[in-house]
């Protein structure tokens, strides 16, 4: 997921302008000019750019003409993102479903969280703030995002939260905490508001929660994949895969719309597909510098994180998975 750099606050007049006239903050005609796979963030220019086309035949489009700079982006789906911007002290939810982008302030959720992560279907998101030791859970995406819960992590006594995952209904969090030379996995729900310890890992790579609450965890330090079954209640963890199965520095884990589980191995540049019960189905090679699994749209994930190099995509389906590439972004010097 993504890291959002903390920004300073601008004058309140700019903030109020965005609240009163959200559509005027930026306009885009990209949605009316052919298919868009999703949007990618070009950090050096502070802009969003569309990936135009379909898997196997896509290019990086021109930047969206918002009149404010963006510091980082959380992608929810192909048309909806959450951004930190110099235009607002609070996070902005951007919808690009029409030719004019709609922008809404997410009240009481400050810009610049330490970590931000979306749920598997993009209906909820969690924003972790290391300074205040809390996680704000926002539900109601895309149409009516609002804080549904605020989770107090002060009991951690300043220990760093390394990864966070949130369920689609916003009622379940699974997070990892750095403790000495290992990381501990905790589960939070309304019935376990103080957080419940589940197990320890060497170095968590990523966490993802399925629609029914099953949680998949990668351990890049131990080259292992785990499941936490019924995380909201019994929270029983189980080892699933290891080095003998081909697990090699697993970083990303993602859930597709058809409930397949994908593991990105940065050590071997492979993507493993697991079924919903955690059994290995197949392994796909990517001739790339694989860095993770970043959602773009329904069951399409970006495998690499740089735009100035060839971009690799994974398109998943019940009929098989396919790796394709998008030419690197070329900008004028």
The per-residue pLDDT for 320 is 82
Distance from C-alpha of 23 to C-alpha of 148, rounded to nearest angstrom: 25
**H or E element: which one contains 20?**
helix 12-20
Domain ranges of the chain: 1-112
DSSP 154: G
Question: What is the per-residue pLDDT for 33?
Answer: 62
Question: CA-CA distances (angstroms) from residue 312 to 1, 253, 258, 307?
Answer: 17, 16, 21, 10
Per-residue pLDDT for the chain (333 aa), expressed as one digit of tens each? 333 333 333 333 333 334 433 333 334 344 446 789 999 999 999 999 999 999 999 999 999 999 999 999 999 999 999 999 988 999 999 999 888 899 999 999 999 999 999 999 999 999 999 999 999 999 999 999 999 999 999 999 889 999 999 999 999 999 999 998 999 999 999 887 778 999 999 999 999 999 889 999 999 999 999 999 999 999 999 999 999 999 999 999 999 888 899 999 999 999 999 998 999 999 999 999 999 999 998 889 999 999 999 999 999 987 789 999 999 998 765
The tokens for 149 are 């819960």
Tell me what pLDDT residue 332 has: 63
Confidence at residue 174, expressed as pLDDT on a 0 to 100 scale: 98
Confidence at residue 59, expressed as pLDDT on a 0 to 100 scale: 96
What distance in Å separates the CA atoms of residue 263 and residue 9, rounded to the nearest whole number?
38
pLDDT at 18: 40
Which two tokens mark 273?
């597909």
Is the entire prediction scored with pTM above 0.85?
yes
Asked whether 241 and 225 are in contact (CB, 8 A), the reply is: yes
Find out whether 112 and 4 touch, Cβ atoms under 8 Å: yes
Instruction: Look at residue 2 in the predicted model and tell me its pLDDT.
Output: 38
d(CA 59, CA 321): 20
């Amino acid at each position: 997921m993504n890291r959002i750099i903390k920004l300073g606050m601008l004058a309140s007049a700019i903030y109020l302008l965005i609240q009163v006239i959200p559509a005027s903050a930026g306009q885009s005609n990209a949605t009316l000019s052919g298919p868009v796979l999703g949007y990618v963030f070009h950090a050096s220019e502070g802009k969003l750019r569309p990936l135009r086309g379909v898997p196997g035949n896509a290019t990086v489009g021109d930047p969206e003409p918002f009149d404010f700079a963006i510091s980082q982006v959380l992608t929810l789906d192909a048309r909806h993102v959450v951004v930190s911007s110099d235009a607002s002290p609070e996070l902005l939810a951007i919808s690009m479903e029409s030719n004019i982008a709609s922008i809404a302030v997410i009240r009481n959720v400050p810009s610049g969280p330490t970590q931000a992560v979306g749920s598997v279907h993009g209906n909820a998101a969690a924003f972790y703030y290391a300074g205040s030791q809390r996680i704000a859970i926002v539900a109601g995406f895309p149409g009516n995002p609002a804080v549904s819960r605020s989770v107090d992590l002060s009991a951690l006594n300043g220990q760093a939260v390394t990864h966070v995952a949130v369920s689609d209904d916003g009622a379940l969090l699974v997070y990892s905490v750095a403790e000495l030379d290992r990381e501990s996995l905790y589960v939070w729900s309304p019935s376990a508001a103080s957080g419940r310890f589940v197990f320890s890992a060497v170095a968590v790579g990523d966490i993802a929660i399925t629609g029914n609450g099953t949680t998949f965890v990668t351990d890049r330090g131990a080259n292992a994949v785990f499941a936490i079954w019924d995380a909201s209640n019994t929270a029983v963890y189980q080892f699933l895969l290891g080095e003998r199965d081909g697990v090699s520095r697993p970083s990303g884990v993602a859930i597709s719309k058809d409930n397949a589980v994908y593991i990105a191995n940065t050590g071997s540049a492979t993507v493993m597909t697991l079924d919903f019960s955690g059994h290995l189905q197949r392994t796909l090679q990517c001739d790339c510098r694989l860095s993770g699994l970043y959602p773009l749209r329904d069951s399409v994930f970006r495998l690499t994180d740089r735009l100035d190099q060839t971009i690799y995509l994974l398109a998943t389906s019940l009929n098989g998975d396919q790796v394709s590439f998008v030419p690197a972004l070329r900008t004028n010097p």
